């Protein structure tokens, strides 16, 4: 009996100690040496959570940048946690709500400014803009702030575009409908091209299953379907004054009706179980002849799979003058964890990555996009794949308004793809569905 | 009146006396302390990771709680919103549909399969148990990926075989929920089959043989002899399958994300969606509380019905 009691007590004690050990982990690691030979005086440990932007898919991609930073700042230890768009929001929400938010986040203004700064979670970075943001375009600086205060410092930017299967278009005789030099096309020509692809596929001339897929199974990659609808008849997603979502405007309804008609006549397909990644995969394996979710990052991701030339194109517009959605600008924000030493160290790191030309150019190249600093010029001029990158640089000329900071943005994203499902897969009345979308989206616009 | 109050008090005393007969009070106390010491580690985890979060969940459900923390007391607003929310209504109906279809089907099918294999030689019996248990150990993500490939509109096996290339089974609001139920079914039958095979193997064969000698039919043997003896297993299977069906999440997250047009939305998925996509944590907690209450009611009904039987 005595043995049993001793065993029970020992077991209980070990479990309690185990719990205590778990609880004490963070403190222990904070006090540990920060890579400067064991000296811990003034050492700061920062957690950087990085979304999978371009080549920043794992912590190894950050290693050369962090190593270069540590040469000048050995007392600042950076721990990188890669997160992705599948479950990154879930991880961040969990971390924030349990007071364990990371120190630095690498993402775009939609989350840094629109979500987190709006909730009062981010540090004011205005001083960084004063010292280093003079050559950053107004369009980028304007989306890095909320009510006049900067909460994000940008690194790189690009434009979302679409792409076509060049060989399929050529075989279907559809290249006549695109301007290969400017990579633009009109809405009429887009319709003709899609019909040509449909007919060629039916005749067996080309080996694709569908001309294109309007994916509406989830919100991932919804910038593609937004840009497609908005460009077809040159309208905007949000009204000029930002007071209302605009899907039910005359031109946007006309665009949605056109796409509905195309789905009905087989020159387009719609899939309510497809997200952008499914559509991209369908494009890569030649199931579809176009993709509406393209950028350099996706090009590199699918390059090995594609047995054809993915030809980047701007979205079609009635006047041939597209306005593309901004991919990014991607940059950094600092969560206000109340530790001034950490905040200062985080600013040092961001300043190094975004303003030091050597480190910054490497970081920009890893994203695969283009620098926000106009003074840095063409960072890919000497790159081996400069010709591949050139079309994406061209797309930057077509950048349009940025509206992802409109109030209720997160909530409206949850409404957009169900609206597309309703219109494209059930044949619902476009005006009614668009009115319903706008009414619900505007309820959260603030 | 006095007699009524005395009688029930005597019964536990008798039980206690018989249970600890021959043991001194000191010994009983030591045994009890030892028992609690052994329970303590599990209890700490249970209280820390189940009981406390449950109370926190109830607390937050009455708050206006977003990413920036608690913004104020919401009273019953989250619960009122919930009952006015058409997505919740749809989620509730879908959840009930999944439970009502999946639970009896899983229970009946696994009992049928178990009845067919439990008398087999150990090798084929183990083979079948293994086959049916595979989806359980494979994991829902891998299973889902395979089903996604089978149901792919353009390159999927089902459309290739059926000659319906392009038909989007998971993108059609009439068919998506049925495939969710089908996939849930395939991933849910493994454990009940293993349990039923064990339970049927433990049925007292002398009673079965006696009934057969007395001329009982197979149905009568099953219904009068075996069924009562496997009832505890059936109750366990019912409760576990019900809870799993209510909490069906991974399939929906990976296959349909609640769509198309909320046709596969469930209460469990709405909790996730509201918390992590819309960042409305107070409302998500309210939905979670209601889900817990619904599961508790269903489980209580099942216990009551099974106990009556």
Paired tokens of A22: 């778990």
Number of domains into which chain A is organized? 2
Residue A107: beta bridge partners? A331
Nearest residue of chain B to residue A288 (CA atoms): B154
Kindly list the residues from chain B whose CB atom is less than 8 angstroms away from the CB atom of residue A1: 27, 30-31, 34
Beta-carbon separation of B30 and A5 below 8 A: yes
Beta-carbon separation of B279 and A410 below 8 A: yes
pLDDT score for B172: 93
Instruction: Quote the minimal CA–CA distance from A357 to chain B in Å.
Output: 35
Q: Whats the size of chain A, residue-wise?
A: 446
Beta-carbon separation of B257 and A218 below 8 A: yes
CATH no. for residue A385? 3.40.190.10
Range of the domain at A100: 2-159+327-398
pLDDT score for A17: 37
Contact (CB, 8 A) for B285 and B60: yes
- For the cut 60, the answer to whether the pLDDT of residue B239 exceeds it is yes
Q: How many helices (H) and strands (E) does chain B have?
A: 16, 2
Instruction: Quote the minimal CA–CA distance from A439 to chain B in Å.
Output: 15
Q: What contacts B176, CB < 8 A, 6 or more positions away?
A: A273, B169, B170, B256, B259, B260, B263, B264
pLDDT score for A345: 97
Tell me, yes or no, whether A333 and A297 share the same domain.
no
∠ CA(B214), CA(B215), CA(B221), 5° rounding?
A: 95
pLDDT score for A381: 85
With an 8 Å Cβ cutoff, is A3 touching chain B?
no
pLDDT score for B52: 96
Give pLDDT tens digits for A339-363: 999 999 999 999 999 999 999 999 9
Nearest residue of chain B to residue A85 (CA atoms): B277
pLDDT score for A64: 95
Per-residue pLDDT, averaged over A185-198, amounts to: 98
Contact (CB, 8 A) for A330 and A154: yes
Give pLDDT tens digits for A43-64: 999 999 999 998 898 999 999 9
Nearest residue of chain B to residue A6 (CA atoms): B34
φ/ψ bin of B262: left (φ > 0), alpha (ψ from -120 to 50), beta (otherwise): left
Q: Among residues A332, A423, A261, which one has the least CA distance to residue A104?
A: A332
Name the phi and psi angles at B131, rounded to 5. Answer: -60, -45
Nearest residue of chain B to residue A10 (CA atoms): B37
What single-letter DSSP state applies at residue A314?
P
Kindly list the residues from chain B whose CB atom is less than 8 angstroms away from the CB atom of residue A23: none
Tell me, yes or no, whether A155 and A262 share the same domain.
no
- What residue spans of A112-149 are helical by DSSP H? 126-132, 138-142
Kindly list the residues from chain B whose CB atom is less than 8 angstroms away from the CB atom of residue A217: 170-171, 256-257, 259-260
pLDDT score for B19: 57
Tell me, yes or no, whether A96 and A69 share the same domain.
yes
Per-residue confidence band for B69, with pLDDT thresholds at 50, 70 and 90: confident
Beta-carbon separation of B166 and A287 below 8 A: no
Place of tokens 């943001």: A133
User: E-assigned strands of B48-191?
Assistant: 63-66, 69-73
Here the ipTM equals 0.76
Kindly list the residues from chain A whose CB atom is less than 8 angstroms away from the CB atom of residue B44: 15-16, 19
Beta-carbon separation of B155 and A285 below 8 A: yes
Give pLDDT tens digits for B15-37: 555 555 667 888 889 999 999 99
Per-residue pLDDT, averaged over B210-234, amounts to: 92
What percent of chain B lies above the pLDDT cut of 90?
A: 72
Tell me, yes or no, whether A429 and A299 share the same domain.
yes
- For the cut 90, the answer to whether the pLDDT of residue B130 exceeds it is no
More confident residue, B23 or B41: B41
Give pLDDT tens digits for A70-107: 999 999 999 999 999 888 998 999 999 888 999 999 99
- For the cut 80, the answer to whether the pLDDT of residue A20 exceeds it is no
Per-residue confidence band for B4, with pLDDT thresholds at 50, 70 and 90: very low
Kindly list the residues from chain A whose CB atom is less than 8 angstroms away from the CB atom of residue B63: none
Instruction: Quote the minimal CA–CA distance from B294 to chain A in Å.
Output: 25
Beta-carbon separation of B259 and A218 below 8 A: yes
Contact (CB, 8 A) for A109 and A333: no
Nearest residue of chain B to residue A96 (CA atoms): B67
Paired tokens of A9: 């007590």
Q: Whats the size of chain B, residue-wise?
A: 309
Most B CBs within 10 A among A96, A215, A270, A273, hence the mutation to make, goes to A273
Tell me, yes or no, whether A201 and A339 share the same domain.
no
pLDDT score for B139: 81
pLDDT score for B68: 84
Tell me, yes or no, whether A148 and A234 share the same domain.
no
pLDDT score for A24: 35
Selected residues 35-94 of chain A with any CB under 8 Å from a CB in chain B: 89-90, 93-94
Kindly list the residues from chain A whose CB atom is less than 8 angstroms away from the CB atom of residue B66: 119
What percent of chain A lies above the pLDDT cut of 70?
A: 91
Tell me, yes or no, whether A295 and A425 share the same domain.
yes
Tell me, yes or no, whether A189 and A48 share the same domain.
no
With an 8 Å Cβ cutoff, is B149 touching chain A?
no
SS (H, E, C) B23-84: CCHHHHHHHHHHHHHHHHHHHHHHHHHHHHHHHHHHHHHCEEEECCEEEEECCCHHHHHHHH
**Nearest CB partner across the interface for B171, out of A89, A116, A271:** A271
Q: What contacts B239, CB < 8 A, 6 or more positions away?
A: B299, B302, B303
End-to-end alpha-carbon separation of chain B, Å?
Answer: 32
Contact (CB, 8 A) for A318 and A146: no
Nearest residue of chain A to residue B65 (CA atoms): A97
Per-residue pLDDT, averaged over A161-171, amounts to: 97
Contact (CB, 8 A) for A360 and A332: no
Q: Is cis: bond before B47, omega within 30 of 0?
A: no
Per-residue confidence band for B308, with pLDDT thresholds at 50, 70 and 90: low
What percent of chain A lies above the pLDDT cut of 90?
A: 71
Tell me, yes or no, whether A262 and A356 share the same domain.
no
Most B CBs within 10 A among A96, A272, A409, A440, hence the mutation to make, goes to A272
- For the cut 60, the answer to whether the pLDDT of residue B273 exceeds it is yes
Per-residue confidence band for A35, with pLDDT thresholds at 50, 70 and 90: very low
Tell me, yes or no, whether A268 and A417 share the same domain.
yes
Per-residue confidence band for A327, with pLDDT thresholds at 50, 70 and 90: confident
Tell me, yes or no, whether A411 and A437 share the same domain.
yes
Place of tokens 């809405």: A187
Contact (CB, 8 A) for A327 and A293: no
- For the cut 90, the answer to whether the pLDDT of residue B67 exceeds it is no
Per-residue pLDDT, averaged over B172-201, amounts to: 94
Per-residue confidence band for A3, with pLDDT thresholds at 50, 70 and 90: low
Instruction: Quote the minimal CA–CA distance from B109 to chain A in Å.
Output: 30
pLDDT score for B20: 57
What percent of chain B lies above the pLDDT cut of 70?
A: 92
Kindly list the residues from chain B whose CB atom is less than 8 angstroms away from the CB atom of residue A425: 168, 171-173, 260
**Nearest CB partner across the interface for B67, out of A93, A411, A426:** A93
With an 8 Å Cβ cutoff, is B145 touching chain A?
no
For chain B, helix, strand, coil in percent to 5 are 75, 5, 20
Kindly list the residues from chain B whose CB atom is less than 8 angstroms away from the CB atom of residue A271: 153, 168, 171
Per-residue pLDDT, averaged over A109-118, amounts to: 93
Give pLDDT tens digits for A237-287: 999 988 999 999 999 999 999 999 999 999 999 999 999 999 999 999 999
With an 8 Å Cβ cutoff, is B66 touching chain A?
yes
Q: What contacts A15, CB < 8 A, 6 or more positions away?
A: B40, B41, B44
- For the cut 80, the answer to whether the pLDDT of residue A29 exceeds it is no
Q: Is cis: bond before B135, omega within 30 of 0?
A: no
Nearest residue of chain A to residue B149 (CA atoms): A278
Tell me, yes or no, whether A367 and A394 share the same domain.
yes
Per-residue pLDDT, averaged over B108-124, amounts to: 91
Nearest residue of chain A to residue B70 (CA atoms): A97
- Mean pLDDT value across chain A: 88
Per-residue pLDDT, averaged over A194-214, amounts to: 97
Contact (CB, 8 A) for B97 and B177: yes
Q: How many helices (H) and strands (E) does chain A have?
A: 18, 13
């Amino acid at each position: 009996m005595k043995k049993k009691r001793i065993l029970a007590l020992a077991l209980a004690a070990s479990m309690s100690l185990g719990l205590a050990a778990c609880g004490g982990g963070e403190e222990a690691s904070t006090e540990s040496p920060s890579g400067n030979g064991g000296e811990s005086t003034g050492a700061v440990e920062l957690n950087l959570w990085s979304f999978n932007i371009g080549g920043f898919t794992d912590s190894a991609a950050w290693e050369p940048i962090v190593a270069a930073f540590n040469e000048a700042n050995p007392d600042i230890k950076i721990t990188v946690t890669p997160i992705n768009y599948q479950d990154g929001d879930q991880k961040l929400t969990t971390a924030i709500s349990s007071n364990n938010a990371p120190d630095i986040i690498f993402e775009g203004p939609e989350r840094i400014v629109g979500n987190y700064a709006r909730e009062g979670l981010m540090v004011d970075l205005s001083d960084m803009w004063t010292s280093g943001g003079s050559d950053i375009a107004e369009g980028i600086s304007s989306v890095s702030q909320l009510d006049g205060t900067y909460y994000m410092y940008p690194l790189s930017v690009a434009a979302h575009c679409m792409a076509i299967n060049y060989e399929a278009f050529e075989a279907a005789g559809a290249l006549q409908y695109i301007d290969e030099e400017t990579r633009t096309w009109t809405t009429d020509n887009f319709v003709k091209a899609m019909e040509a692809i449909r007919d060629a596929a039916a005749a067996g001339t080309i080996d694709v299953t569908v001309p294109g897929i309007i994916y509406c199974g989830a919100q991932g990659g919804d910038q593609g379907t937004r840009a497609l609808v908005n460009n077809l008849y040159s309208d905007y997603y949000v009204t000029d004054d930002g007071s209302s979502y605009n899907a039910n405007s005359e031109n946007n309804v006309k665009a949605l009706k056109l796409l509905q008609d195309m789905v009905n006549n087989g020159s387009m397909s719609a899939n309510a179980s497809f997200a952008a990644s499914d559509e991209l995969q369908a494009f890569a394996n030649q199931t579809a002849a176009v993709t509406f979710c393209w950028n350099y990052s996706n090009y590199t991701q699918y390059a090995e799979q594609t047995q054809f030339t993915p030809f980047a194109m701007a979205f079609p517009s009635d006047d041939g003058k597209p306005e593309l959605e901004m991919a990014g600008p991607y940059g950094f924000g600092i969560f206000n964890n109340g530790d001034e030493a950490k905040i200062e160290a985080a600013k040092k790191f961001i300043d190094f990555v975004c303003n030091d030309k050597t480190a910054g150019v490497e970081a920009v190249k890893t994203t695969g996009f283009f620098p926000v600093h106009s003074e840095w010029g063409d960072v890919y001029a000497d790159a081996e794949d400069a010709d591949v990158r050139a079309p994406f640089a061209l797309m930057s000329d077509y950048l349009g308004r940025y509206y992802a900071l409109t109030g209720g943005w997160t909530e409206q994203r949850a409404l957009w793809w169900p609206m597309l499902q309703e219109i494209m897969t059930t044949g619902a009345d476009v005006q009614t569905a668009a009115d319903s979308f706008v009414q619900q989206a505007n309820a959260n616009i603030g | 009146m006095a007699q009524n109050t005395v009688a029930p008090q005597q019964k536990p005393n008798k039980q206690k006396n018989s249970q600890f007969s021959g043991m001194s009070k000191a010994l009983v106390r030591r045994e009890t302390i030892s028992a609690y010491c052994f329970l303590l580690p599990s209890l700490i985890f249970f209280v820390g990771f189940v009981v406390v979060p449950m109370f926190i969940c109830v607390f937050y459900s009455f708050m206006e709680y977003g990413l920036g923390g608690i913004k104020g007391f919401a009273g019953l607003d989250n619960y009122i919103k919930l009952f006015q929310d058409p997505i919740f209504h749809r989620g509730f109906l879908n959840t009930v549909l999944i439970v009502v279809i999946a639970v009896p089907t899983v229970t009946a099918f696994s009992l049928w399969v178990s009845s067919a294999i439990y008398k087999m030689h150990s090798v084929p019996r183990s083979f079948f148990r293994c086959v049916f248990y595979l989806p359980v150990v494979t994991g829902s993500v891998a299973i889902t990926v395979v089903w996604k490939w089978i149901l792919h509109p353009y390159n999927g096996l089902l459309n290739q075989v059926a000659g319906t290339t392009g038909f989007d089974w998971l993108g059609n609001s009439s068919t998506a929920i049925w495939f969710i139920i089908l996939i849930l079914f395939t991933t849910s039958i493994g454990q009940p089959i293993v349990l039923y095979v064990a339970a049927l193997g433990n049925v007292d064969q002398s009673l079965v043989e006696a009934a057969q000698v007395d001329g009982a039919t197979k149905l009568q043997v099953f219904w009068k002899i075996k069924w009562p003896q496997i009832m505890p297993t059936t109750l366990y299977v019912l409760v576990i399958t019900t809870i799993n069906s209510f909490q069906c999440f991974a399939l929906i997250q990976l296959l349909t994300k609640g769509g198309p047009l909320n046709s596969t939305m469930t209460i469990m998925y709405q909790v996730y969606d509201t918390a992590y996509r819309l960042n409305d944590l107070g409302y998500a907690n309210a939905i979670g509380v209601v889900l817990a209450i619904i599961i508790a009611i269903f489980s209580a009904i099942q216990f009551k019905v099974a106990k009556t039987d």
